[in-house]
Each structure stands twice: as C-alpha cells, then as structure tokens.
Amino acid sequence: METKDWYAETAAYLSACISGNPETAVILGSGLGALADHIEEATVIPYHEIPHFVRSTASGHKGNFICGKLGGKTILAMQGRFHYYEGYTMEQVTFPIRVMKLLGVKNLLVSNAAGGINTSFKVGDLMIIRDHINMMPNPLIGPNKEAFGTRFPDMTRAYDREMIRLMETIASEKNIPLKKGVYVGLTGPSYETPAEYAFYGKVGGDAIGMSTVPEVIVARHCGIRVFGMSVITNEGYHFADDFVNDANDVIEAADRAAQKMTVLFASLIDRL
C-alpha cells in the first residue's frame, strides 16, 4: 500500500472517532502534555490504536491524540510528538500533519522544550518562534506529494505573522512576559556541547531543540498556518563546573511553564 492511501485511511479512522470540525491543532512537546488536561469534552485516542501512527517513546510524551474544546473551540491535540532521533523516518515523524490537513485543520500551534542560547534568556521563559534554522534532513526530500503542496514551498514566513502579533497582544493583556527568537532544530538525541551552543548562537539561534521544524515544514507545504512557542528549560550559554543537561530537569521546567502556556494558547485559539 502506498503511503498516500495511509493518510486517507488514518484520516477516515479519526474522523469516525471525533466530533465537530476542528480547524486548529496543537502539538505538545516535552513536559507540556499537562495542557491537554484543560481540554474539555475530550475524546482521547492512544497512538497505538490509530492506523499507521507510530509510538512516542520520548520522556514526557504520553502518546495520545485528543479531540475536544479549548478556548471555546473544538481542537485537535497531540499529547506528545514523534522525533527523528527515535529512529523514525521523516515521513513517520510528520505523518500526523498531513492527516490533520485531511481532517480540515487550518491552524497549527506547536510547542517544545528548548535550551536557551540567547544570554538574556532564563529557565522558564516563553519564546515565540519567529523563525528557525533547520539542521535536520528536510522532510520534503523525495517525490513531492502533489495532493498536499508544491514541489518548492516558500518558507519566508514559516511562522504566521498575524498569529505572532495576536499572541503578543494577548500576552500584554495578561501581563505574561514573552521572548521572541529563532529556534534551531537538531537531530539529537545527545544534548549539544558548549561549543555547539556557542556556534549556533553566533549564527543567529536563540533556542535549540530536537523537534518542531519538520512538522512546521510539512504544515507549510500543506498550506497550514503555524504558530510556535518554546519553553526555555535550561541556559545553554552558562556552563558552571557542575552543569549537566538532564532530561528530567527539562521536563520539570516545562511543567512549571505549562500553566502560562495553557492560558496563552487557549486565548489565541479563541481569537482565531
């Protein structure tokens, strides 16, 4: 069976499980799955029950596909994502995005836990992603899926400027401080060396992580608008003698920021 039929099969399965016509989807990164607890009237479908979905093996990713209400609107949410470092192909990593497109999704909100490169960033800061630097294999390599988009999609506005302006307004109204910067996407799973943090800072990066970029590229290829936000979970520019990157610390820092992100995402969804 060709994968183009897999997308249709998966979309048909999910369509039979959910109600409403969700136009917005949210992908919740490491430690941010708690946002899903605020989704009302939720239908929760574990990934392992969904045809052609792989499983999320990363820490802090519960592995559920959810349909319910947030911000007064019906949405879809992925409680955990797939990563290239888990051994999946880029098509498997981004498979849910094209399924969302078939389900009628027009807006995608992506979140992640990221290391801070910008020296003004502190643990717990929220950063609007205004652009990215992709250091992973491009998920569009290979035969183009014409049914979803053009061979050479434009990426000059990968992150929707209208949604960024709207989020800045919302944050100001709610007195929640936000940073804004460039996210660097690497394959992982090893954390970056001090020299790598310094290098990516010098070439324009503000935060660094192991996800998100492939999803954004495929979403834009599909014509889906994207808003992205990172939770800064460590200060990658400050290496004390006892500093180590630790996955549990990352998840704990993301957990502490999840409530603020829930307020902001719900408000953004309400205004889309």
Q: What is the pLDDT of residues 43-87, one digit of tens each?
A: 999 999 999 999 887 766 689 999 999 988 999 999 999 999 999
**DSSP structure string for 121-166:** --TT-EEEEEEEEE-S--TT-SS--TTT--SS---TTSS-HHHHHH
Q: What residue ranges of the chain have pLDDT lower than 50?
A: 1
From 114, 108, 112, select the one nearest 96 (Cα to Cα).
Answer: 108
DSSP 211: S
pLDDT at residue 1, as a whole number: 42
- Please name the residues in contact with 205: beta carbons below 8 A apart, sequence gap of 6 or more: 117, 133, 181, 182, 183, 184
pLDDT at residue 234, as a whole number: 84
pLDDT at residue 20, as a whole number: 87
The model carries a pTM of 0.93
Q: What value does the mean pLDDT of the chain take?
A: 91
pLDDT at residue 257, as a whole number: 80
E strands, the chain, are 24-28, 40-46, 64-70, 73-79, 107-116, 126-134, 179-185, 207-209, 225-235
From 51, 192, 58, select the one nearest 116 (Cα to Cα).
Answer: 192
- Please name the residues in contact with 173: beta carbons below 8 A apart, sequence gap of 6 or more: none
127 to each of 32, 110, 228, how far by Cα in Å? 14, 12, 8
- State the pairing for strand pair 40-46/64-70: antiparallel
> How would you label 37-73 residue by residue, b for 16+ Cβ within 10 Å and e otherwise?
ebbeeebebebeebebbbebebebbbbbbbbbbbbee
Alpha-carbon distance of 98 to 115, in angstroms, equals 28
Longest dimension (CA), the chain: 55
SS3 assignment, position 117? coil
> How would you label 118-149 residue by residue, b for 16+ Cβ within 10 Å and e otherwise?
beebebebbbbbebbbbebeebbeeeebeebb
pLDDT at residue 19, as a whole number: 87
